[in-house]
Amino acid sequence: MRTEPTPEAIEENSLYRAMGLTDDEYRRVVERLGRRPNYVETGLFGVLWSEHCSYKSSRAYLKKFPTSGPQVLQGPGENAGVVDIGDGIGIAFKMESHNHPSAVEPYQGAATGVGGILRDVFTMGARPIAFLNSLRFGPLEDGHTRYLFANVVAGIGGYGNCVGIPTVGGEAVFDPAYTHNPLVNAMCVGMLPADAIATGAAKGVGNPVFVVGSRTGRDGIHGATFASTDNPKEKERSAVQVGDPFLGKLLMEACLELISTGAVVGIQDMGAAGLTSSSAEMASRAGGGVELYLDLVPCRESGMSPYEMMLSESQERMLVVMEKGQESLAFDILHKWDLQVEEIGKVTDDGRLRLLFHGDVVADVPVSLLVDEAPVYQRCVVDRYHQPGLDVSLPVPSSNWEAAWLELLAHPTIADKRWIYQQYDTSVRASTLVGPGSDAALVLVPGTQKAVAMATDGNGRYVYLNPRVGGAIAVAEAARNVVCSGARPLALTNCLNFGNPEKPAIMRQFADAVEGMGEASRALDVPVVSGNVSFYNETGGTDIFPTPVVGVVGVLDALNRATPSSFQGDGHEVVLVGVDERGLDGSLYWQLQAGKPAGDAPYFRIEEEVRVQKLVQAAIAAGYVLAAHDVSEGGLAVALAEMAVGRGVGVQAQLIAGSPAGAFFGEAQGRILLEVADGQLETLQALAAAKEVPCQRIGRTGGAMVSMTVGSTDAMNVAVARLASVYNATLPERMNEPIAP
C-alpha cells in the first residue's frame, strides 16, 4: 500500500483540489475540525461536499417544491418517494441521472444508472415493477452520437432484461445541444405494502452494520466528484462503475427477503460516494454515529487502502443495519442467495464517523459536519433571463405543408421509437397492460382492478426559450400523458439536468425552471417526492439546453377505463379539447425552419391546463372516450398522424381557422385529442361547457388517408400507409449507418 500524503503536504500542495474541495471549503473543514484533515478524511469531505452528493448549488431552490399531500407516504430525503394508491398498496419511485459516465463509457454508464435506481427502489422494501428512461443525444448524422446512442440503449436493455423487470416507457430527443453531453436519466417504479416502508437510518446503539453484495474494488473511485465537474471526456474511464445485473438480481431478492423479516433497522444503497455516503447519510438520518472496521470489508483487489475502500463505487453493494441478536438472519439469507455478507461495524451514539484499519483510527469526523453542514451556495444569478429566441430573424414559413409534415414525422425526436424498445423486455412478469409507444405506460396491480400509470417528459428547447414556462410545461405534459391513459396523476420525481452552475445565466435558468415546476406541481396536485440534480453538463464552455425531466406516477382505478392513444375504428368523432391555434413559439417546426430554437416557449396557462386535465379524467371515467392523445411536439398534424398510424385508421379533419403553419404545427399546451363514439359528442361538449373548457369537433375517423384543412385553401392529404412508412423508418435507417467510437 502506497504512502499517503501527510495533512501538511495536502495543505501545502493544495492536493485537496484534486479531491474535490475548493480552497474555501478546505479552510472550512480545517476550522470546524480544529486541525488539518488527513488523507482519508479529506477524501470523505471531497466526495460528500461534491455537487453530486451535497446539492450545494441547488438545495436552497429545491425547497420551493411542494412535497406533501394525503397521497404521499414518503417524500424527499429517503432513497425513493412513496405514494398511496389505496387498498393498502404503496408505490415507490425515483429518477436519477447517469450523464457523465454515459458520455465516457456509454454501455456501463447506462447499465449502472439502471442498477443504481433499481437499488434505490428495492431499498424502500418495494418490489420493482417497471423501468422508464429519458434520453438526450445529438443529431444521429454524427457517427459518434450513433455509437453513444447504440451503447446506451444496449446498456439499459442489458441490465433491465437480466434482472427481469420490464422497461415500459420513456422518451428520446435528438438535438445539437446534446452532441457533447448526452443525458441518460433512468426511472424505476416499485410496489410495497403501504405500512411497510423501509428507511435508511442507522438506529440503535450497538446494532451491527453489514456490507452486503459484491466485493469492493477500485472501479468508480471519485465517481461523485467526476459527476460534479465539466468536460467528462477528459476524465478517466476508471471513474465509471461496472455493473453485474445477475448479481443485482440476487441482491434485490435477498434484500427484499431480509427486509420482510422485520429485523432490518436501516438499509442503504452504496451509490455515489460508496461506503462514505451510505454510512454517513444513514448515521445523519438517525442523529447518531457509525464505527467501521475497514480491514473486514470484503475486497476483490489486493492491497486496497482505507481511502480506496471508502470512495469506491463498486456496484451491487448495500449497507445494512440489523437488530442486535439477529445477525444470523443476515448470514443465513444472504448465503442462501450465494451473496457476500460481512459484519464491518456498529452504530454509536457519539455522532461521529469513525474508521479503523487494523486497529488504527484512520478517520474520525463529525457526521453533522460531513452531511448536514455541507456548504450551501447562493450562486450569482443574473437579474433577468435573456430569451434567446426573441431576437431571431425568422424565415417565412414554408407553404409546402405536406413536405414539412413528413419532415417532422421523420425527425428522430418524433419518429417511432420501436428500434429502442424492441431491445428491451417490455412485458416480463406479464403485468404490463400498456407498454412503450403510448402516452403513458400501465402496469397491473396484482389482485386488484387497478393499474399504475407512469410517464416521463421534458423539453429542453422550451426551457431554453423561457425557463419558468418551460419548467411548468415539463410537469404539465408528464401529468397530461398520465391523464390520457385514463389514470389520475398522484406525484412526480424529476431529474434536473443543467449546465455549469458557476455561470450566473445557468443559475437563472435553474431558479426560474424550479419556480415554474413548483407552480405547476401545486396547481395539478402532483407533489415532488424524489429526484436528482445534475449540473456541469457542459463541454468546451458550451452548456446543454436546461433540461428538467419529469416522471409522473398515477393510478388507474378501473382497468376497463384504460385508454389507448390510437384511433380505434371508423366513423367516430374527433374532438380537440383545449385552446385553438396559438402560433409557432418554441415549436420544432420553427426550429427546423430557423436553424435554431425560435420565439418564446409555447402558449401555456396553468389554470387552463388544470381544467383540461380534469375534464378528460371525467370524460374517460364516464365512458365517453375511445382514445386520447396529447398534442405536443409537432403540433396537431403530428398528433393526428400518430393516432392514425397506430392501427391504420384514417381521419378527415377541419382545423380551427388561423395561420396554417400554427394550426398544423404549433405546440400550444393544454390540448388533448379525443376519439368519441357516436352519440357521445353532445354529452361531452355539455360536460366541457360546464367545466369551462374549449371542446370542438374537428373531424371524423375513417378511410385510408389523413386529411387536414385550414380555411378553404390550405390542406394536407397523405395516405396513412405513407405516414407510417416515414414515421417508422428513421431510427432503423440511421442506426444501420456506421458508428464511430
The pLDDT tens digits of the residues spanning 380-419 come to 899 888 878 765 556 556 678 999 999 999 999 999 999 9
Residue 304 — pLDDT band, cuts 50, 70, 90? very high
pLDDT of residue 237: 45
- 167 CB neighbour count, 10 Å cutoff: 29
Please tell me the predicted confidence (pLDDT) of residue 31.
Answer: 96
Average pLDDT of the segment spanning 421-440: 90
For 178, residues 6+ apart whose C-beta sits below 8 A from its C-beta are 136, 137, 138, 460, 544, 545
- What's the rounded Cα separation, in Å, for the pair 388 and 296? 56
pLDDT over 70, % of the chain: 96
Give the model confidence (pLDDT) of 451-483 as tens digits.
Answer: 999 999 999 999 999 999 999 999 999 999 999
pLDDT in tens, 703-716: 999 999 998 778 99
Q: List, for residues 37-69, the tens digit of each pLDDT value.
A: 999 999 999 999 999 899 999 999 999 999 999
Q: Stretch 650-678: mean pLDDT, rounded?
A: 93
C-alpha dist (Å) from residue 189 to 47, 145, 443: 28, 29, 10
The DSSP bridge pattern shows strands 183-193 and 528-534 to be unpaired
φ, ψ of residue 39 to 5 degrees: the values are -65, -45
Name residues whose C-beta falls within 8 Å of residue 286's C-beta, 6 or more positions apart in sequence. Answer: 201, 202, 203, 266, 347
How many CB atoms are closer than 10 A to CB 339? Answer: 19
Q: Could you read off the pLDDT of 524-534 as tens digits, one per residue?
A: 999 999 999 99
Q: At what angle do helices 467-484 and 504-524 cross, to 10 degrees?
A: 40
Q: Does residue 367 surpass a pLDDT of 60?
A: yes
Give the C-alpha separation, 519 to 536, whole Å.
26
- The whole-number average pLDDT for the span 188-203 is 96
Residues 6+ apart with CB under 8 A from 234: none
Pick left, alpha or beta for residue 606 (phi over 0 → left; psi -120 to 50 → alpha; otherwise beta).
alpha
DSSP per-residue string spanning 515-529:
HHHHHHHHHHT--EE
222 is catalytic: no
**What distance in Å separates the CA atoms of residue 337 and residue 335, rounded to the nearest whole number?**
5
Quote the pLDDT of residue 234: 46
Nearest CA among 368, 556, 526 for reference residue 450? 556
Residue 315 one-letter amino acid: Q
Residues 6+ apart with CB under 8 A from 22: none
Mean pLDDT of the chain: 93
So what's the pLDDT on residue 239?
56
**Per-residue pLDDT, 576:** 97
The DSSP annotation for 98-142 comes to -HHHHHHSHHHHHHHHHHHHHHHHHTTTPEEEEEEEEEEE--TTS
Active site residue 52: yes
Amino acid identity at 460: G
